[in-house]
């Protein structure tokens, strides 16, 4: 099944119009991915400034993909024609699927899901969260359609990483999970893994303790960031060392996920090391801030 923008009669329950809430690195990446796959994409942001920066981020990424010869100029232009931007959430009213990509703040996400529930007109519309650590059940419980809420966790950069985690809550209908999986695998061409609704899901429950252990090694002077990364790349055939990966993810994101894991499980291996906390407090957030465990141009 290939999504299309032609004026044919819509199949019941079929996802054709996608809404994205937020246009940071994840939101812009998912918007680009869906538009390239042929979906009608509308991105809702919180301010005119966010609209400009988000739109520029999408345009720049697509231009970069053309220069790298991953897509043609005609594909870029077609994708851009399918993406629109708004500062008013009501403009997502006609969407079949809304994907939330705002910051990892449980209160803000729960409030947003309550608003999306009132905004989306299609009674079969799916509400998805790109959270990497927070409770899907809590978000679902804020809506009048908890059976249609699930987690849809993309990995950065969403355009390139082939995996998406699908996380049903205690309430998610099986048919909704199947439709979401079809969108991810058939529509977007990704691979999907399912997880129960627990903090960290599958990937971060394994990845975060590993990344935190590498931070603790730097903190205690066992080895430099460069030597730790070199050891894991050359000794374990990892494509990227843990500290470069932490910088790429964002040290603030890593800190937030670690705190959520520790709050839920109270296991010491999930506790953010003091060095990570101080770096986040100081605005040293990794590649996006120009400095983390490495410096970036």
Interval 243-259: pLDDT, tens:
999 999 999 999 999 99
Band of pLDDT at residue 48, cut at 50, 70 and 90: very high
Whole-number Cα distances in Å, 281 to 35, 108, 149, 213, 250: 36, 21, 33, 20, 13
Q: What is the pLDDT of residues 130-170, one digit of tens each?
A: 998 899 999 999 999 999 999 999 998 899 999 999 999 99
Percent of the chain with pLDDT over 90: 92
Instruction: Specify the residue for token string 């990344």.
Output: 211
- pLDDT value for 109: 97
State residue 187's pLDDT score. Answer: 97
- Among left, alpha and beta (phi > 0; psi -120 to 50; other), residue 189 is left
Is the CA virtual torsion 249, 251, 252, 254 positive or negative? Answer: positive
Give residue 11's pLDDT: 52
Q: What is the mean pLDDT of residues 279-291?
A: 97
Give SS3 for 46.
Answer: coil
Q: Which residue has the higher pLDDT, 104 or 18?
A: 18
Residue 168 pLDDT? 97
Tell me how crowded residue 1 is: count the other CB atoms within 10 A of its CB.
10
Can you tell me the distance from the alpha carbon of 1 to that of 101, in angstroms, rounded to the nearest whole number? 26
Q: Kindly indicate the confidence band of residue 186, based on its pLDDT and cuts at 50, 70 and 90.
A: very high
Residue 138 neighbours by CB distance under 10 Å: 17
Reported pTM:
0.89
C-alpha 231, offset from chain centre: 29
pLDDT tier for residue 8 given thresholds of 50, 70 and 90 = very low
pLDDT at 44 over 60: yes
**What is the rounded average pLDDT of the residues 269-281?**
98
Residues noted as catalytic: 132, 153, 165, 204
Instruction: Assign 252 to helix, strand or coil.
Output: helix
What is the arithmetic mean of pLDDT over 92-96?
98
pLDDT tier at 9, thresholds 50, 70, 90: very low
> In the chain, where are the structural domains located?
17-194, 203-287
- Both tokens assigned to 287: 């590649």
- Measured N-to-C along each axis, helices 225-236 and 203-219 cross at an angle, to the nearest 10 degrees, of 130
Cβ-contact 26, 54 below 8 angstroms:
no
**Topology of domain 203-287, per CATH?**
1.10.1040
Superfamily of domain 17-194: NAD(P)-binding Rossmann-like Domain (3.40.50.720)
Q: Would you state the pLDDT for residue 262?
A: 96
- Helix runs in the chain, H state only: 25-36, 48-67, 73-82, 106-119, 136-140, 174-182, 203-219, 225-236, 242-249, 251-265, 274-281
Q: With bands split at pLDDT 50, 70 and 90, how would you rate the model's confidence at 12?
A: low
Give 191's strand partners: 163
């Amino acid at each position: 099944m290939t999504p299309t923008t032609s004026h044919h009669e819509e199949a019941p329950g079929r996802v054709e119009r996608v809404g994205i809430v937020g246009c940071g690195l994840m939101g812009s990446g998912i918007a680009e991915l869906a538009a390239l796959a042929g979906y009608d994409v509308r991105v809702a942001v919180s301010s005119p400034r966010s609209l400009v920066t988000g739109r520029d981020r999408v345009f720049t990424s697509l231009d970069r993909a053309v220069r790298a010869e991953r897509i043609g100029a005609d594909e870029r232009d077609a994708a851009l024609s399918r993406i629109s931007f708004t500062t008013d959430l009501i403009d997502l009213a006609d969407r079949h699927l809304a994907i939330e990509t705002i910051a990892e703040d449980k209160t803000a996400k729960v409030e947003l899901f309550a608003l999306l529930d009132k905004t989306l007109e299609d009674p079969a519309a799916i509400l998805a969260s790109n959270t990497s650590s927070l409770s899907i059940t809590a978000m679902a419980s804020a809506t009048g359609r908890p059976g249609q809420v699930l987690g849809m966790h993309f990995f950065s950069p969403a355009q390139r990483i082939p995996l998406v985690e699908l996380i049903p809550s205690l309430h998610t209908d099986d048919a909704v999970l199947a439709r979401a999986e079809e969108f991810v695998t058939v529509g977007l061409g990704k691979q999907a893994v399912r997880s129960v609704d627990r903090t960290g899901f599958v990937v971060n429950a394994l990845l975060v303790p590993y990344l935190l252990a590498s931070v603790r090694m730097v903190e205690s002077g066992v080895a430099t960031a460069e030597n730790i990364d070199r050891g894991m790349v050359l000794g374990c055939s990892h494509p990227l060392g843990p500290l470069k990966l932490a910088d790429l993810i964002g040290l603030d994101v890593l800190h937030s996920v670690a705190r959520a894991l520790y709050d839920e499980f109270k296991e010491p291996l999930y506790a953010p090391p003091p060095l990570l906390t101080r770096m986040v407090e100081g605005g040293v957030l990794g590649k996006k801030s120009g400095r983390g465990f490495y410096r970036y141009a």
